[in-house]
Amino acid sequence: MRVRKHLTSDDRGSITVLFAVALVPLCLMTAIVIDGGRVWLDRTRLQNGVEAGAVAAARAWNAGGASCASANLAIVSSDGASPTSVTCTVSGTPTRGVVTVSGTDASPLHFAGLIGRSSSRITALTSVRIAAVGGLSHLWPFALCRDNPAVATWVNSGMTSNAITTITFEDPNVQCAGSVSGNWSTLDFNAGSNSTGETNDWILNGFTGTVSVGDVIQGAPGAPSTLQVTPMIGKSVLMPLYTNPRMQGANAVYTAAGFAQVKVIAASFSGANAKRSLTIQFQKGTVTGSSVSLSAPDFGLSSISICSHDSQGVCS
């Protein structure tokens, strides 16, 4: 009995020693996880802030303001980040350029302080490209001929004109560089039955699919009186511009040539077809999340898209 008791005491002592030895790496691992989680959170906040700052700077630059103004860079701290330094650079032009914003911070380390390290240096960098829109969703189902004089007036003004213009749908004297007469077309984006209900939904909410420059889309000249345009008066819409129309009537097809933003001033969809019209005002605008194109023509609607994270990505 005495021997057994002596062995049990030895076992307990061994277990205590093993537990003490194992506790050291366990505590070290816990400290690494906790400090690592804090660094990851601070890095995520800094990255979110840098992205927001780059987009804000790009928007301001495209609109004619100062890209790297302090008000734009202050957004870097909007997600809880507290960077010790923020830099901002631009290249190119306000309509075809790149804005790069970077931030640096020191994430505090609590447990690592026991071994003499109080913080971890974190950095984040985002580049945003400004260019003409190459592809876009939520488009209006009315497309305007790219060669219409109103488009030329807008472009030649440097996209600064405030002119309001009324454009009739049908005009036998306008060919739009193709065989289909007229200035406008009602598009059938999904090549379906082009029902009135579907078209009216696109008028109010835009087409949810994506249309890209160069896409060939079905449509028909004219403006049926059953289309509900009145709710859109006073609102801004995104619309395609087309070129190279072919064939006639419901068989007509149009090639997307670019995109513009317009404010709908008035609409007339009653009476003789030759008198039905839309009154619009071209506007400059930006969209995010759409595809960019360095070759698409510029009609005043620019795409702002992230092209690089931490120098990973192509912005040229």
Residue 198 has pLDDT above 80, yes or no: yes
Strand partners, 123: 104
pLDDT digit string, tens, across residues 57-113: 999 998 888 888 888 888 888 877 788 899 999 999 998 899 999 999 887 666 555
pLDDT at 73: 84
- What is the band of 161 on the pLDDT scale with cuts at 50, 70, 90? very high
Rounded Cα gap, residues 90 and 282, in angstroms: 27
pLDDT at 165: 92
Residue 39 has pLDDT above 80, yes or no: no
Q: What is the mean pLDDT of residues 34-46?
A: 74
Q: Which of 135, 130, 131, 95 is nearest to 238 (CA)?
A: 135
Rounded Cα gap, residues 299 and 282, in angstroms: 9
Q: Is 193 exposed, middle or buried (0-12, 13-18, 19+ CB in 10 A)?
A: exposed
pLDDT at 33: 55
pTM across the whole model: 0.76
Rounded Cα gap, residues 31 and 117, in angstroms: 13
Largest Cα–Cα distance in the chain? 118
pLDDT at 127: 94
Rounded Cα gap, residues 79 and 88, in angstroms: 18
pLDDT digit string, tens, across residues 119-145: 678 889 999 999 989 899 999 999 998
Residue 27 has pLDDT above 90, yes or no: no
Quickly count: other Cβ atoms within 10 Å of residue 98's Cβ: 19
Q: Which of 4-8, 171-175, 302-306 has the lowest mean pLDDT?
A: 4-8
